Structure 1
Amino acid sequence: MLFISMLIMGMIIGFIGIGGAGITIALLTVGFGVKIHTALAVALSSMVFTTMSGAYSHFREGNVIPKTGAVLGLSGVIGAFLGANVSNLISPPVLGKMSGSIMLLSAVLLYIKVYQSDWLFRHFPPKEGLLEGNKLFFYGGIAGCLNGFISGAFGIGAAAFIQLTLMIIFGIPVLYAIGTCMMVILPISIAGGAGYILNGQLDLLIFVQTLVGQSVGAYLGAKLTRLAPRPVLKFFMVAMSASGGLAMMFFY
Protein backbone atom coordinates (compact mmCIF):
# COMPACT_ATOMS: atom_id res chain seq x y z
CA MET A 1 0.00 0.00 0.00
CA LEU A 2 2.82 2.41 0.78
CA PHE A 3 4.51 1.80 -2.58
CA ILE A 4 1.22 2.14 -4.49
CA SER A 5 0.40 5.37 -2.62
CA MET A 6 3.82 6.81 -3.45
CA LEU A 7 3.43 5.77 -7.08
CA ILE A 8 0.12 7.63 -7.32
CA MET A 9 1.55 10.62 -5.48
CA GLY A 10 4.56 10.61 -7.80
CA MET A 11 2.23 10.79 -10.79
CA ILE A 12 0.48 13.80 -9.26
CA ILE A 13 3.82 15.45 -8.43
CA GLY A 14 5.10 14.91 -11.96
CA PHE A 15 1.80 16.08 -13.41
CA ILE A 16 1.71 19.44 -11.64
CA GLY A 17 5.48 19.92 -11.30
CA ILE A 18 6.04 20.38 -7.56
CA GLY A 19 8.61 18.87 -5.20
CA GLY A 20 6.03 17.17 -2.99
CA ALA A 21 8.09 16.88 0.21
CA GLY A 22 5.33 18.36 2.37
CA ILE A 23 2.58 16.09 1.09
CA THR A 24 4.98 13.12 1.36
CA ILE A 25 5.50 13.87 5.05
CA ALA A 26 1.76 14.23 5.59
CA LEU A 27 1.02 10.94 3.81
CA LEU A 28 3.66 9.03 5.77
CA THR A 29 2.67 10.39 9.18
CA VAL A 30 -1.10 10.79 8.89
CA GLY A 31 -1.77 8.03 6.38
CA PHE A 32 0.67 5.33 7.51
CA GLY A 33 1.54 6.28 11.08
CA VAL A 34 5.25 6.75 10.43
CA LYS A 35 7.13 8.69 13.11
CA ILE A 36 7.52 12.29 12.05
CA HIS A 37 11.32 12.30 12.40
CA THR A 38 11.49 9.26 10.14
CA ALA A 39 9.11 10.91 7.67
CA LEU A 40 11.30 14.03 7.56
CA ALA A 41 14.39 11.87 7.00
CA VAL A 42 12.70 9.99 4.16
CA ALA A 43 11.39 13.19 2.51
CA LEU A 44 14.77 14.93 2.55
CA SER A 45 16.74 11.86 1.50
CA SER A 46 14.35 11.17 -1.39
CA MET A 47 14.60 14.79 -2.45
CA VAL A 48 18.33 14.36 -3.07
CA PHE A 49 17.65 11.96 -5.93
CA THR A 50 14.52 13.61 -7.31
CA THR A 51 16.23 17.02 -7.36
CA MET A 52 19.49 15.81 -8.88
CA SER A 53 18.17 15.20 -12.38
CA GLY A 54 16.19 18.45 -12.37
CA ALA A 55 19.20 20.49 -11.26
CA TYR A 56 21.40 18.90 -13.92
CA SER A 57 18.80 19.51 -16.62
CA HIS A 58 18.41 23.18 -15.69
CA PHE A 59 22.20 23.58 -15.64
CA ARG A 60 22.48 22.07 -19.12
CA GLU A 61 19.75 24.40 -20.37
CA GLY A 62 21.57 27.43 -18.95
CA ASN A 63 18.80 28.26 -16.46
CA VAL A 64 21.15 28.52 -13.47
CA ILE A 65 23.14 31.43 -12.02
CA PRO A 66 26.01 29.24 -10.72
CA LYS A 67 27.74 31.74 -8.43
CA THR A 68 24.57 32.78 -6.60
CA GLY A 69 23.40 29.17 -6.41
CA ALA A 70 26.75 28.06 -4.99
CA VAL A 71 26.73 30.73 -2.27
CA LEU A 72 23.18 29.94 -1.13
CA GLY A 73 23.65 26.18 -1.51
CA LEU A 74 26.88 25.95 0.48
CA SER A 75 25.62 28.20 3.28
CA GLY A 76 22.37 26.25 3.17
CA VAL A 77 24.30 23.09 4.02
CA ILE A 78 25.15 24.58 7.42
CA GLY A 79 21.57 25.63 8.08
CA ALA A 80 20.09 22.31 6.94
CA PHE A 81 22.43 20.18 9.05
CA LEU A 82 21.79 22.39 12.07
CA GLY A 83 18.04 22.30 11.42
CA ALA A 84 17.98 18.51 11.23
CA ASN A 85 19.78 18.20 14.55
CA VAL A 86 17.53 20.78 16.21
CA SER A 87 14.49 18.94 14.85
CA ASN A 88 15.61 15.76 16.57
CA LEU A 89 15.35 17.56 19.92
CA ILE A 90 11.71 18.58 19.38
CA SER A 91 8.91 16.28 20.54
CA PRO A 92 6.85 14.67 17.73
CA PRO A 93 3.52 16.42 18.53
CA VAL A 94 5.13 19.86 18.59
CA LEU A 95 7.23 19.15 15.50
CA GLY A 96 4.15 17.95 13.62
CA LYS A 97 2.32 21.23 14.25
CA MET A 98 5.39 23.28 13.40
CA SER A 99 5.92 21.38 10.15
CA GLY A 100 2.26 21.85 9.25
CA SER A 101 2.53 25.59 9.89
CA ILE A 102 5.58 25.90 7.66
CA MET A 103 3.83 23.91 4.92
CA LEU A 104 0.84 26.25 5.08
CA LEU A 105 3.12 29.28 4.92
CA SER A 106 4.81 27.75 1.89
CA ALA A 107 1.37 27.27 0.28
CA VAL A 108 0.53 30.93 0.93
CA LEU A 109 3.78 32.06 -0.69
CA LEU A 110 3.14 29.76 -3.61
CA TYR A 111 -0.39 31.20 -3.98
CA ILE A 112 1.02 34.74 -4.02
CA LYS A 113 3.63 33.78 -6.59
CA VAL A 114 1.16 31.95 -8.86
CA TYR A 115 -1.98 34.12 -8.53
CA GLN A 116 -0.79 37.49 -7.20
CA SER A 117 2.53 38.05 -8.94
CA ASP A 118 1.63 41.63 -9.94
CA TRP A 119 0.83 42.53 -6.33
CA LEU A 120 3.99 40.80 -5.14
CA PHE A 121 6.38 42.64 -7.43
CA ARG A 122 4.54 45.94 -6.97
CA HIS A 123 5.08 45.81 -3.21
CA PHE A 124 8.40 43.93 -3.25
CA PRO A 125 10.09 44.98 -6.48
CA PRO A 126 13.05 42.78 -7.46
CA LYS A 127 16.48 44.34 -7.38
CA GLU A 128 17.79 45.61 -10.69
CA GLY A 129 20.82 43.57 -11.62
CA LEU A 130 22.41 40.66 -9.84
CA LEU A 131 24.01 41.05 -6.43
CA GLU A 132 27.79 40.74 -6.64
CA GLY A 133 30.83 41.05 -4.44
CA ASN A 134 30.59 41.26 -0.67
CA LYS A 135 26.81 41.82 -0.73
CA LEU A 136 26.32 38.50 -2.52
CA PHE A 137 28.29 36.61 0.12
CA PHE A 138 26.74 38.50 3.03
CA TYR A 139 23.10 38.24 1.97
CA GLY A 140 23.66 34.85 0.37
CA GLY A 141 25.14 33.45 3.57
CA ILE A 142 22.21 34.65 5.67
CA ALA A 143 19.52 33.61 3.16
CA GLY A 144 21.14 30.23 2.56
CA CYS A 145 21.40 29.42 6.26
CA LEU A 146 17.80 30.45 6.96
CA ASN A 147 16.32 28.54 4.02
CA GLY A 148 18.53 25.57 4.80
CA PHE A 149 17.39 25.56 8.42
CA ILE A 150 13.72 25.61 7.38
CA SER A 151 14.28 22.70 5.02
CA GLY A 152 16.35 20.66 7.46
CA ALA A 153 14.16 21.25 10.49
CA PHE A 154 10.80 20.69 8.82
CA GLY A 155 11.67 18.35 5.94
CA ILE A 156 10.41 20.50 3.07
CA GLY A 157 12.36 21.62 0.01
CA ALA A 158 11.58 25.28 0.80
CA ALA A 159 11.32 25.98 -2.94
CA ALA A 160 8.74 28.76 -2.47
CA PHE A 161 10.99 30.49 0.08
CA ILE A 162 14.14 30.09 -2.01
CA GLN A 163 12.61 31.20 -5.33
CA LEU A 164 11.12 34.37 -3.85
CA THR A 165 14.43 35.09 -2.11
CA LEU A 166 16.33 34.72 -5.38
CA MET A 167 13.93 36.98 -7.29
CA ILE A 168 13.38 39.76 -4.75
CA ILE A 169 16.73 39.98 -2.94
CA PHE A 170 19.19 38.71 -5.55
CA GLY A 171 17.59 40.15 -8.69
CA ILE A 172 17.31 36.83 -10.54
CA PRO A 173 14.58 36.55 -13.23
CA VAL A 174 11.88 33.94 -12.62
CA LEU A 175 13.16 31.38 -15.16
CA TYR A 176 16.65 31.47 -13.69
CA ALA A 177 15.23 31.51 -10.16
CA ILE A 178 13.56 28.14 -10.81
CA GLY A 179 16.75 26.57 -12.15
CA THR A 180 18.99 28.12 -9.48
CA CYS A 181 16.54 27.01 -6.79
CA MET A 182 17.02 23.40 -7.88
CA MET A 183 20.77 23.86 -7.55
CA VAL A 184 20.35 25.30 -4.04
CA ILE A 185 17.97 22.56 -2.86
CA LEU A 186 20.35 19.73 -3.81
CA PRO A 187 23.12 20.35 -1.22
CA ILE A 188 20.52 21.43 1.34
CA SER A 189 18.63 18.13 1.03
CA ILE A 190 21.90 16.18 1.22
CA ALA A 191 22.94 17.94 4.43
CA GLY A 192 19.47 17.72 5.99
CA GLY A 193 19.14 14.04 5.13
CA ALA A 194 22.61 13.37 6.55
CA GLY A 195 21.60 15.04 9.81
CA TYR A 196 18.65 12.68 10.24
CA ILE A 197 20.64 9.62 9.12
CA LEU A 198 23.36 10.31 11.68
CA ASN A 199 20.65 10.43 14.33
CA GLY A 200 19.34 7.03 13.20
CA GLN A 201 16.00 8.33 11.90
CA LEU A 202 16.00 6.92 8.35
CA ASP A 203 13.97 3.76 7.70
CA LEU A 204 15.59 2.17 4.64
CA LEU A 205 12.54 0.16 3.53
CA ILE A 206 10.22 3.17 3.67
CA PHE A 207 12.85 5.27 1.91
CA VAL A 208 13.24 2.82 -0.99
CA GLN A 209 9.48 2.47 -1.47
CA THR A 210 9.04 6.23 -1.40
CA LEU A 211 11.92 6.96 -3.76
CA VAL A 212 11.09 4.29 -6.35
CA GLY A 213 7.35 4.90 -6.23
CA GLN A 214 7.63 8.66 -6.62
CA SER A 215 10.36 8.49 -9.27
CA VAL A 216 8.40 6.12 -11.49
CA GLY A 217 5.16 7.99 -10.86
CA ALA A 218 6.72 11.41 -11.56
CA TYR A 219 8.12 10.16 -14.87
CA LEU A 220 4.68 8.96 -15.95
CA GLY A 221 2.83 12.00 -14.60
CA ALA A 222 5.12 14.47 -16.36
CA LYS A 223 4.00 13.05 -19.71
CA LEU A 224 0.43 14.14 -18.95
CA THR A 225 1.17 17.75 -17.95
CA ARG A 226 0.46 19.23 -21.38
CA LEU A 227 -3.01 17.68 -21.39
CA ALA A 228 -4.22 19.82 -18.46
CA PRO A 229 -5.40 23.44 -18.78
CA ARG A 230 -3.05 25.92 -17.10
CA PRO A 231 -5.66 27.06 -14.50
CA VAL A 232 -6.03 23.44 -13.37
CA LEU A 233 -2.28 23.05 -12.92
CA LYS A 234 -2.04 26.32 -10.97
CA PHE A 235 -4.89 25.28 -8.68
CA PHE A 236 -3.42 21.89 -7.85
CA MET A 237 0.06 23.36 -7.31
CA VAL A 238 -1.31 25.42 -4.43
CA ALA A 239 -3.88 22.85 -3.25
CA MET A 240 -1.30 20.06 -2.90
CA SER A 241 0.97 22.21 -0.76
CA ALA A 242 -1.92 23.43 1.38
CA SER A 243 -3.39 19.95 1.88
CA GLY A 244 -0.15 18.66 3.38
CA GLY A 245 -0.05 21.48 5.90
CA LEU A 246 -3.71 21.14 6.83
CA ALA A 247 -3.36 17.37 7.30
CA MET A 248 -0.42 17.88 9.67
CA MET A 249 -2.19 20.64 11.60
CA PHE A 250 -5.51 18.87 12.17
CA PHE A 251 -4.91 15.12 11.91
CA TYR A 252 -1.39 14.46 13.22
Structure 2
Amino acid sequence: MFFYSSIEPVYYLLPIIGFVVGLLGTMLGGGGGFIFLPLLTLVVGAPAQTAVITSLVATLPICLVGAVAHFRKGNVSLRTGMLFSLVGVVGAFSGAAIAGYISASQLKIAFGVYSVVIALNIFFDTLRKRRNELKGEPIGNSMVKNISVRGAFFGFFAGVITGTFGTSGTAPVLAGLFSMRMALKMVIGTSLMIVLVNTFFAIGAHFLLGQIDLTLVFFLTGGSAIGAIIGPLILSGSQRIEKKENNIRYGYAVVMVLLGILMITG
Protein backbone atom coordinates (compact mmCIF):
# COMPACT_ATOMS: atom_id res chain seq x y z
CA MET A 1 0.00 0.00 0.00
CA PHE A 2 3.05 2.25 -0.33
CA PHE A 3 4.05 4.21 -3.43
CA TYR A 4 6.34 7.04 -4.49
CA SER A 5 4.90 9.94 -6.44
CA SER A 6 7.04 11.93 -8.87
CA ILE A 7 8.61 15.02 -7.32
CA GLU A 8 6.82 18.26 -8.20
CA PRO A 9 8.28 21.78 -7.67
CA VAL A 10 5.80 22.49 -4.86
CA TYR A 11 7.25 19.55 -2.90
CA TYR A 12 10.36 21.58 -2.05
CA LEU A 13 8.22 23.91 0.07
CA LEU A 14 6.92 21.01 2.15
CA PRO A 15 9.94 20.72 4.52
CA ILE A 16 9.53 24.42 5.41
CA ILE A 17 5.81 23.99 5.98
CA GLY A 18 6.49 20.79 7.91
CA PHE A 19 8.97 22.62 10.15
CA VAL A 20 6.44 25.35 10.97
CA VAL A 21 3.70 22.77 11.59
CA GLY A 22 5.98 20.66 13.79
CA LEU A 23 7.07 23.73 15.75
CA LEU A 24 3.58 25.09 16.30
CA GLY A 25 2.05 21.65 16.76
CA THR A 26 4.23 20.82 19.74
CA MET A 27 3.63 24.31 21.15
CA LEU A 28 -0.16 24.18 20.70
CA GLY A 29 -0.82 20.49 21.33
CA GLY A 30 -1.47 19.31 17.77
CA GLY A 31 0.05 16.72 15.50
CA GLY A 32 -0.18 18.78 12.33
CA GLY A 33 -2.71 16.72 10.43
CA PHE A 34 -5.16 19.62 10.58
CA ILE A 35 -2.76 21.53 8.29
CA PHE A 36 -1.45 18.58 6.31
CA LEU A 37 -4.83 17.41 5.01
CA PRO A 38 -5.89 20.74 3.42
CA LEU A 39 -2.32 21.19 2.16
CA LEU A 40 -2.26 17.80 0.46
CA THR A 41 -5.73 18.14 -1.07
CA LEU A 42 -5.88 21.85 -1.98
CA VAL A 43 -2.23 22.62 -2.84
CA VAL A 44 -0.61 19.33 -3.82
CA GLY A 45 -3.77 17.90 -5.36
CA ALA A 46 -3.55 14.46 -3.74
CA PRO A 47 -6.72 12.32 -3.78
CA ALA A 48 -8.66 12.69 -0.52
CA GLN A 49 -8.23 9.09 0.64
CA THR A 50 -4.49 9.16 -0.14
CA ALA A 51 -4.20 12.51 1.64
CA VAL A 52 -5.83 11.09 4.78
CA ILE A 53 -3.45 8.16 5.29
CA THR A 54 -0.40 10.17 4.14
CA SER A 55 -1.33 12.93 6.58
CA LEU A 56 -1.58 10.42 9.43
CA VAL A 57 1.86 8.93 8.71
CA ALA A 58 3.44 12.39 8.42
CA THR A 59 1.80 13.44 11.69
CA LEU A 60 3.11 10.51 13.74
CA PRO A 61 6.71 11.81 14.23
CA ILE A 62 5.42 15.18 15.48
CA CYS A 63 3.16 13.51 18.04
CA LEU A 64 5.88 11.12 19.18
CA VAL A 65 8.66 13.66 19.57
CA GLY A 66 6.36 16.27 21.13
CA ALA A 67 4.71 13.87 23.59
CA VAL A 68 8.04 12.52 24.83
CA ALA A 69 9.51 16.00 25.22
CA HIS A 70 6.50 17.29 27.16
CA PHE A 71 6.36 14.17 29.32
CA ARG A 72 9.95 14.71 30.41
CA LYS A 73 9.06 18.25 31.44
CA GLY A 74 6.04 17.11 33.48
CA ASN A 75 3.47 18.55 31.10
CA VAL A 76 1.37 15.37 30.69
CA SER A 77 -1.61 14.27 32.78
CA LEU A 78 -1.47 10.49 32.41
CA ARG A 79 -4.88 9.91 34.02
CA THR A 80 -6.67 12.25 31.65
CA GLY A 81 -4.60 11.14 28.68
CA MET A 82 -5.39 7.47 29.22
CA LEU A 83 -9.10 8.18 29.51
CA PHE A 84 -9.18 10.09 26.22
CA SER A 85 -6.94 7.52 24.50
CA LEU A 86 -8.92 4.41 25.46
CA VAL A 87 -12.18 5.66 23.99
CA GLY A 88 -10.27 7.37 21.19
CA VAL A 89 -9.01 4.02 19.88
CA VAL A 90 -12.61 2.84 19.44
CA GLY A 91 -13.43 6.11 17.72
CA ALA A 92 -10.43 5.82 15.39
CA PHE A 93 -11.54 2.45 14.03
CA SER A 94 -15.11 3.76 13.70
CA GLY A 95 -13.87 6.78 11.78
CA ALA A 96 -11.80 4.64 9.42
CA ALA A 97 -14.91 2.63 8.62
CA ILE A 98 -16.88 5.83 7.93
CA ALA A 99 -14.16 7.11 5.58
CA GLY A 100 -14.53 4.04 3.41
CA TYR A 101 -18.18 4.85 2.67
CA ILE A 102 -18.03 8.55 1.74
CA SER A 103 -16.75 10.24 -1.41
CA ALA A 104 -13.77 12.58 -1.64
CA SER A 105 -15.98 15.67 -1.97
CA GLN A 106 -18.13 14.61 0.98
CA LEU A 107 -14.97 14.04 3.02
CA LYS A 108 -13.73 17.58 2.32
CA ILE A 109 -17.09 19.21 3.11
CA ALA A 110 -17.53 17.18 6.29
CA PHE A 111 -14.04 18.17 7.43
CA GLY A 112 -14.81 21.84 6.77
CA VAL A 113 -18.05 21.76 8.76
CA TYR A 114 -16.35 19.93 11.63
CA SER A 115 -13.58 22.56 11.72
CA VAL A 116 -16.03 25.45 12.01
CA VAL A 117 -18.11 23.74 14.72
CA ILE A 118 -15.09 22.94 16.90
CA ALA A 119 -13.69 26.45 16.40
CA LEU A 120 -16.94 27.94 17.67
CA ASN A 121 -16.81 25.63 20.69
CA ILE A 122 -13.30 26.81 21.60
CA PHE A 123 -14.23 30.47 20.96
CA PHE A 124 -17.28 30.51 23.24
CA ASP A 125 -15.56 28.42 25.92
CA THR A 126 -12.75 30.97 25.96
CA LEU A 127 -15.27 33.79 26.31
CA ARG A 128 -16.76 32.07 29.37
CA LYS A 129 -13.30 31.52 30.81
CA ARG A 130 -12.36 35.18 30.32
CA ARG A 131 -15.59 36.38 32.00
CA ASN A 132 -14.82 34.21 35.02
CA GLU A 133 -11.29 35.62 35.19
CA LEU A 134 -12.56 39.21 35.05
CA LYS A 135 -15.07 38.46 37.82
CA GLY A 136 -12.37 36.85 39.92
CA GLU A 137 -14.22 33.55 40.00
CA PRO A 138 -12.22 30.31 40.27
CA ILE A 139 -11.86 28.46 36.97
CA GLY A 140 -10.92 25.11 38.49
CA ASN A 141 -8.62 22.50 37.02
CA SER A 142 -8.65 19.16 35.27
CA MET A 143 -10.15 17.27 38.21
CA VAL A 144 -13.69 18.46 37.67
CA LYS A 145 -16.53 16.19 38.76
CA ASN A 146 -17.59 15.21 35.26
CA ILE A 147 -14.11 14.48 33.96
CA SER A 148 -15.06 10.92 32.98
CA VAL A 149 -18.06 12.06 30.95
CA ARG A 150 -16.15 14.86 29.26
CA GLY A 151 -13.15 12.63 28.59
CA ALA A 152 -15.27 9.86 27.09
CA PHE A 153 -17.24 12.23 24.85
CA PHE A 154 -14.36 14.32 23.53
CA GLY A 155 -11.98 11.34 23.41
CA PHE A 156 -14.33 9.25 21.27
CA PHE A 157 -15.10 12.21 19.02
CA ALA A 158 -11.38 12.87 18.59
CA GLY A 159 -10.81 9.25 17.61
CA VAL A 160 -13.61 9.38 15.04
CA ILE A 161 -12.16 12.55 13.54
CA THR A 162 -8.69 11.00 13.40
CA GLY A 163 -9.93 7.87 11.67
CA THR A 164 -12.18 9.75 9.25
CA PHE A 165 -10.10 12.78 8.26
CA GLY A 166 -6.52 11.83 9.13
CA THR A 167 -6.05 15.02 11.17
CA SER A 168 -4.96 13.56 14.54
CA GLY A 169 -8.20 14.75 16.20
CA THR A 170 -6.45 17.65 17.90
CA ALA A 171 -9.40 20.05 17.82
CA PRO A 172 -11.87 18.02 19.93
CA VAL A 173 -9.04 16.96 22.25
CA LEU A 174 -8.11 20.60 22.89
CA ALA A 175 -11.78 21.54 23.25
CA GLY A 176 -12.22 18.82 25.87
CA LEU A 177 -9.04 19.62 27.80
CA PHE A 178 -9.70 23.36 27.71
CA SER A 179 -13.21 22.76 29.09
CA MET A 180 -11.59 20.95 32.05
CA ARG A 181 -9.72 24.15 32.91
CA MET A 182 -6.28 22.54 32.79
CA ALA A 183 -3.16 24.72 32.72
CA LEU A 184 -2.11 25.53 29.15
CA LYS A 185 1.19 23.62 29.20
CA MET A 186 -0.59 20.58 30.65
CA VAL A 187 -3.23 20.83 27.92
CA ILE A 188 -0.54 20.88 25.24
CA GLY A 189 1.46 17.94 26.59
CA THR A 190 -1.58 15.79 27.34
CA SER A 191 -3.08 16.56 23.93
CA LEU A 192 0.07 15.35 22.17
CA MET A 193 -0.04 12.09 24.12
CA ILE A 194 -3.68 11.53 23.14
CA VAL A 195 -3.24 12.34 19.45
CA LEU A 196 -0.17 10.08 19.35
CA VAL A 197 -2.26 7.09 20.44
CA ASN A 198 -5.15 8.03 18.15
CA THR A 199 -2.87 8.52 15.16
CA PHE A 200 -1.07 5.22 15.68
CA PHE A 201 -4.28 3.18 15.72
CA ALA A 202 -5.85 5.20 12.90
CA ILE A 203 -2.87 4.37 10.68
CA GLY A 204 -3.45 0.69 11.36
CA ALA A 205 -7.16 1.03 10.60
CA HIS A 206 -6.49 2.92 7.36
CA PHE A 207 -3.60 0.82 6.15
CA LEU A 208 -5.76 -1.46 4.02
CA LEU A 209 -8.04 1.35 2.84
CA GLY A 210 -5.64 3.89 1.37
CA GLN A 211 -2.25 4.30 -0.28
CA ILE A 212 0.62 6.03 1.52
CA ASP A 213 2.65 8.44 -0.61
CA LEU A 214 6.15 8.01 0.83
CA THR A 215 7.50 10.89 -1.26
CA LEU A 216 5.12 13.32 0.45
CA VAL A 217 5.81 11.75 3.84
CA PHE A 218 9.56 12.23 3.38
CA PHE A 219 9.27 15.88 2.40
CA LEU A 220 6.79 16.72 5.17
CA THR A 221 8.54 14.90 8.02
CA GLY A 222 11.97 16.18 6.98
CA GLY A 223 11.10 19.54 8.49
CA SER A 224 8.37 18.62 10.95
CA ALA A 225 10.60 16.38 13.07
CA ILE A 226 13.06 19.24 13.61
CA GLY A 227 10.25 21.65 14.47
CA ALA A 228 8.79 19.12 16.91
CA ILE A 229 12.08 19.02 18.82
CA ILE A 230 12.43 22.80 19.04
CA GLY A 231 8.80 23.55 19.98
CA PRO A 232 8.81 22.17 23.56
CA LEU A 233 12.14 23.89 24.24
CA ILE A 234 10.68 27.27 23.31
CA LEU A 235 7.52 26.59 25.30
CA SER A 236 9.34 25.60 28.48
CA GLY A 237 11.61 28.65 28.27
CA SER A 238 8.79 31.15 27.82
CA GLN A 239 7.30 32.85 30.86
CA ARG A 240 4.58 34.60 28.85
CA ILE A 241 2.72 31.61 27.42
CA GLU A 242 0.21 31.33 30.26
CA LYS A 243 -0.55 35.06 30.08
CA LYS A 244 -1.37 34.77 26.39
CA GLU A 245 -3.49 31.63 26.73
CA ASN A 246 -6.77 33.31 25.75
CA ASN A 247 -5.18 34.93 22.69
CA ILE A 248 -3.73 31.57 21.66
CA ARG A 249 -7.19 30.01 21.93
CA TYR A 250 -8.78 32.76 19.83
CA GLY A 251 -6.05 32.51 17.22
CA TYR A 252 -6.44 28.75 17.00
CA ALA A 253 -10.20 29.12 16.50
CA VAL A 254 -9.76 31.70 13.72
CA VAL A 255 -7.32 29.49 11.80
CA MET A 256 -9.70 26.55 12.11
CA VAL A 257 -12.62 28.58 10.71
CA LEU A 258 -10.58 29.79 7.72
CA LEU A 259 -9.34 26.30 6.85
CA GLY A 260 -12.84 24.91 7.29
CA ILE A 261 -14.25 27.45 4.82
CA LEU A 262 -11.49 26.61 2.32
CA MET A 263 -12.29 22.91 2.55
CA ILE A 264 -16.02 23.52 2.07
CA THR A 265 -15.60 25.86 -0.91
CA GLY A 266 -12.38 24.43 -2.39
Are the aligned partners of 2:65 and 2:225 in contact in 1 as well (CA < 8 Å)?
A: no
Matched residue of 2:156: which SS?
Answer: helix
AA at the equivalent of 1:245: G
Are the aligned partners of 1:15 and 1:224 in contact in 2 as well (CA < 8 Å)?
A: no
1:118 paired with 2:130, answer yes
Deviation digits for residues 143-189 of structure 1 (CA, Å, limit 9, x no counterpart)? 322221122212223323212312425x5333322211111111101
Are the aligned partners of 2:62 and 2:228 in contact in 1 as well (CA < 8 Å)?
A: no
Cα deviation, residue 87, structure 1:
0.9
Distance (whole Å) between structure 2 residues aligned to residue 145 and residue 195 of structure 1: 15
Distance (whole Å) between structure 1 residues aligned to residue 212 and residue 141 of structure 2: 43
Corresponding position of 1:53: 65
Q: 1:62 to 1:222 in 2, by over 3 A?
A: closer
Distance (whole Å) between structure 1 residues aligned to residue 263 and residue 159 of structure 2: 21
1:34 paired with 2:70, answer no
1:112-151 matches, cutoff 5 A: 112=124, 117-119=129-131, 130=143, 139-151=150-162
Distance (whole Å) between structure 1 residues aligned to residue 232 and residue 66 of structure 2: 12
The list of structure 1 runs, each at least 4 consecutive aligned residues, that deviate by more than 6 angstroms after superposition, is 113-116, 220-226
Distance (whole Å) between structure 2 residues aligned to residue 242 and residue 105 of structure 1: 8
- Structure 2: 5+ residue stretches without partners: 1-8, 239-243
TM-score using structure 2 length: 0.75
Root-mean-square deviation (CA), in Å?
A: 3.5
Are the aligned partners of 1:43 and 1:156 in contact in 2 as well (CA < 8 Å)?
A: yes
Q: Which moved more, 1:216-225 or 1:86-95?
A: 216-225
1:248 paired with 2:260, answer no
Aligned residues: 243
Q: Kindly, what percent of the aligned residue pairs are identical? A: 26
Corresponding position of 1:157: 168
Q: 1:84 pairs with 93, 96, 112, which one?
A: 96
Cα deviation, residue 3, structure 1:
3.3
Are the aligned partners of 1:80 and 1:150 in contact in 2 as well (CA < 8 Å)?
A: yes
Distance (whole Å) between structure 1 residues aligned to residue 35 and residue 18 of structure 2: 11
Matched residue of 1:198: which SS?
Answer: coil
TM-score using structure 1 length: 0.79
Q: 1:66 to 1:37 in 2, by over 3 A?
A: same
Q: 1:60 to 1:185 in 2, by over 3 A?
A: same
